[in-house]
Homo-oligomer: A and B are copies of this chain.
């Protein structure tokens, strides 16, 4: 990384190196999994998991039955999504499933289907949609501005990445008479990030293990799908794209979910688990603590501002609380380019607002990083304000 000596600080406070808060690499949860490390251990022998096939009787033939059961159990525990009478499709992260969903919703139309999301939207949707200049779908930008009389797919991300807001579809159906399909990206609809206010029950919901427990290296996501034909098309897309999903990851994720759920069951039924072993409660404390510290620093000046979130009652934790998003959607009040300001002035790598179809005065900063990076981030903000 370049060394910029004109950073405006006195030598005693010179910022030595960059901290990368651009990606949402979920290192925050590692400490918890270190404690549960032995319990979650999987052992895979040389002759296991050879076949391409997992479950030929099921629509998603490459999904291992134990993972399907674990995912259903997890949603039943948390109460964040209804899996009854629905199809579950596993993917190489929810990224692949997003593209599978676009394919499934668009493949029967003659014209490229419009793909939209309300700004600020997840920075990668646009490129994931358009990377191959597909003739079946195309990115059509901000859903708030959508006024074509053409079929569309609206992506609803809730809580939203980057700004943490709770969202529903926004296309005005009176204005747009064409058929709209919805993809609900619920990557952050877990109790450590936001109150679980209802059991989501949409046509197509995406989840990812990366943001649920922090196991991003496993590349496991899943879709919960109402319509069998859509689930079949998604399965076909993943077959064409990668002939399925790593079985090693599938059995490991199943194991980790089982351990997580067992701890809750043992806590409720026999008291043989301790409160400090409950993953979501513990992780919510971490998120809350980071948000409180960050708000404390921000309120010392008018240089930056943060979104505010309403309180809501969480059916899982049985308490009323705010949303504690995985990212801070930071607004810079003294510079028109927040990303560039953070980079040049504070050597903090963040993702600027334009990447999210929004204002460059905003930038997204990951709050899921290592403790030392988060503390250093707060320190640099404080120094900057003084």
Interface residues in chain A, defined as those with a beta carbon under 8 Å from any beta carbon in chain B = 23, 25-27, 29-30, 33-34, 36-54, 91-93, 95-96, 99, 103, 124, 127-128, 131-137, 210, 214-220, 237, 240-249, 252, 256, 259
Contact = CB atoms under 8 A, between A and B. Distances in A.
B50 A127 contact: no
24 contacts: A23-B53, A25-B51, A29-B50, A30-B47, A33-B50, A38-B45, A40-B47, A49-B218, A50-B215, A92-B92, A92-B242, A95-B241, A96-B242, A128-B240, A132-B132, A133-B136, A216-B243, A217-B248, A218-B248, A219-B243, A219-B245, A246-B248, A247-B249, A248-B248
B219 A50 contact: no
Contact of A50 (B27, B36, B132, B247): B27
Contact of A93 (B25, B50, B124, B242): B242
A246 B246 contact: yes
A133 B42 CA distance: 41
Nearest to A92: B242
Contact of A41 (B43, B216, B241): B43
A51 B216 contact: yes
A234 B206 CA distance: 26
B52 A46 contact: no
Contacts of A244: 93, 217, 219
Contacts of A127: 240
Contacts of A91: 242
A176 B225 CA distance: 48
Contacts of A137: 132
A95 B240 CA distance: 7
A59 B40 CA distance: 32
Contact of A219 (B25, B29, B46, B246): B246
Copies per complex?
Answer: 2
Contact of A33 (B39, B46, B93, B256): B46
B37 A45 contact: yes
Given A92-B246, A219-B245, A249-B248, A51 B33 contact: no
A92 B250 CA distance: 14
B23 A52 contact: yes
A131 B237 contact: yes
Nearest to A91: B242
Contacts of A33: 46-47, 50
Given A131-B237, A237-B131, A217 B247 contact: yes
A132 B128 contact: no
Given A134-B135, A219-B242, A240-B127, A30 B43 contact: no
A37 B30 contact: no
Contact of A133 (B135, B215, B217): B135
A25 B52 contact: yes
The 8 closest A-B pairs by CB, nearest first: A40-B46, A133-B135, A246-B246, A248-B248, A92-B242, A217-B247, A33-B47, A49-B217
Contact of A248 (B38, B131, B252): B252
Contacts of A242: 91-93, 95-96, 219, 242
Contact of A210 (B52, B93, B259): B52
Contacts of A54: 217
Nearest to A40: B46
Contact of A217 (B50, B132, B214): B50
A133 B131 contact: no
Nearest to A244: B219
A99 to B, nearest CB: 7
